[in-house]
A and B are shown apart, each in its own frame.
Chain A
Amino acid sequence: MLLQFSTREAFATGAVLYAYIPASEREETPRITIDIRIGDLQTSAFVDTGGIYLICPPEIASALNFDPDDALQSKQVLLRGEIVRGALYRVPLTILASEGETITIEATAFVPNAATTLSNFPCILGMYLCLERLRFAVDPLNEVFYFGEAA
């Protein structure tokens, strides 16, 4: 069942079971991981409401053939307390639903150069210019991620 306001307006239009698992081989701390699509490529991403942008590992960007002419190339970007080099793109981001409706929004994706710690992670859904467009809620008891458009 999807969430509603007291006015019966929908808070969430979609919901999906998430996996509560580590985000890399080097970690044991679990993170909320859901399935997304960037363009036509379906993959996994973990939710980081303290982060910014959609962080997209280089191998995912390579599979999607991002056009460098559409990018804002960055010499240095301060991300997660670390200076990294890479490029920023505007991409269609889809959050896949197992109940209700799957939603597609625009997001700003940062693709780090290969030799950074960020390239060892799956995609990361940050807040600024990514998740901020959505309402979302988490039910940790049943491991459900609810979402809908904020505007």
Chain B
Amino acid sequence: MTIALSPHAPLSLIEVMQELISNLRPTSGASTPSYRRAVESDELWDGTRAIEAAQQRTYQHASAVDINGSRFGDFIPAVGVLSAQSTATDNPDYGMAALALAAENHDEQAFLAASAAIDWRRRDATDFLQAIQWALAAGAHRAASVLALRGAELHPDADKLLTAARVLAPQTTPAAYQSADSSVTLNRSWLKAHRQEYRGRWVALSGGNLLGNAITLEELTSRFGVNPQILYTRVF
């Protein structure tokens, strides 16, 4: 199979892959710091930068390619795969570096690809917690849930992971019901009638009656308390 890459000369798919992988080699050699420095410092780790450059080149190639009947994207190695294939340094954590890069770029797709390349059974609780944070930064919210649940399952003694799993788990508790509340309609009618008058202010309403109004919610709750029968809302 031959594909035409502009402005490059025609290359085979294997040549494209080799070129991309060859660009992953960091420039700083075996003393490259771990992925954690890439996240904690303003300076990107060279290896991370190399992966990012390769990813950008991949997108440039993909945007320029002209092939019939195939989706070039199906043949582009994900950043996690690319990072796993790099052998440039002695002991950096390429998998986590790829997650960090995806988080920094707010790239959900890259995060998912990098996460899929990691053997999570061998990861400790700290790695799970860090990956959850990066998932949230990448916009990979469902992946954050999956990581939290998986991490809590593998590390049941890690309190922070248990909290993450509880917060991000799918909703399973049965719903609870109460009878309808007529004050909802009464409060709504009051707001409709007085919207212009109290615009921008917080109001406290009960049964369609105004209890008070203030600039802040705190002023009202300190006067009337947190009571399920009182509606606190800002008027717009």
Q: Is A43 an interface residue (CB 8 A)?
A: yes
Q: Which residue of A lies closest to B236 (CB)?
A: A22
Interface size class of A (residues with CB under 8 A): 35 or more
Give me 13 A-to-B residue pairs in the complex whose CB atoms sit less than 8 angstroms apart, sorted by A's number: A19-B188, A24-B236, A35-B233, A37-B228, A40-B228, A53-B141, A60-B217, A63-B226, A70-B163, A102-B177, A103-B175, A104-B175, A122-B234
How distant is the Cα of A63 from the Cα of B226 in the complex, in angstroms? 7
Q: Are A75 and B137 neighbours in the complex by a CB distance under 8 Å?
A: yes
User: Cβ of A35: which chain B residues have Cβ within 8 Å of it?
Assistant: 184, 187-188, 231, 233
B136 partner, pick from A13, A71, A76, beta carbons under 8 A: A76
Please list the 7 inter-chain residue pairs (A to B) with the smallest Cβ-Cβ separation, ordered nearest first. Answer: A78-B139, A76-B137, A44-B233, A97-B180, A104-B176, A149-B175, A101-B177
Mark out the residues of chain A between 21 and 52 whose CB falls within 8 Å of any chain B CB in the assembled complex: 21-25, 27, 35, 37, 39-44, 52
Main secondary structure of the interface of A (DSSP, over half): strand
Min CB distance, A72 to chain B, in Å? 5
Mark out the residues of chain A between 42 and 85 whose CB falls within 8 Å of any chain B CB in the assembled complex: 42-44, 52-53, 59-60, 62-64, 69-72, 74-78, 83
User: Cβ of A72: which chain B residues have Cβ within 8 Å of it?
Assistant: 132, 148, 160, 163-164, 167-168
Q: Which residue of A lies closest to B132 (CB)?
A: A72
Q: Are A42 and B231 neighbours in the complex by a CB distance under 8 Å?
A: yes
Q: Are A42 and B230 neighbours in the complex by a CB distance under 8 Å?
A: yes
Taking Cβ atoms with an 8 Å cutoff, the residues of A that contact B are 13-14, 16-17, 19, 21-25, 27, 35, 37, 39-44, 52-53, 59-60, 62-64, 69-72, 74-78, 83, 88-90, 94, 96-108, 122, 128-129, 132-133, 149, 151
Q: Are B227 and A40 neighbours in the complex by a CB distance under 8 Å?
A: yes
How distant is the Cα of A44 from the Cα of B230 in the complex, in angstroms? 12
Type the 1/0 row for B2-41, where 1 means its CB is closer than 8 Å to any CB of A: 0000000000000000000000000000000000000000
Q: Are B217 and A78 neighbours in the complex by a CB distance under 8 Å?
A: no
User: Cβ of B160: which chain A residues have Cβ within 8 Å of it?
Assistant: 72
| Additional 15 contacts, C-beta under 8 A, given A74-B133, A78-B139 | A35-B233, A43-B231, A43-B233, A44-B234, A53-B141, A60-B217, A63-B218, A75-B137, A96-B184, A98-B185, A101-B179, A104-B176, A108-B167, A129-B171, A149-B175
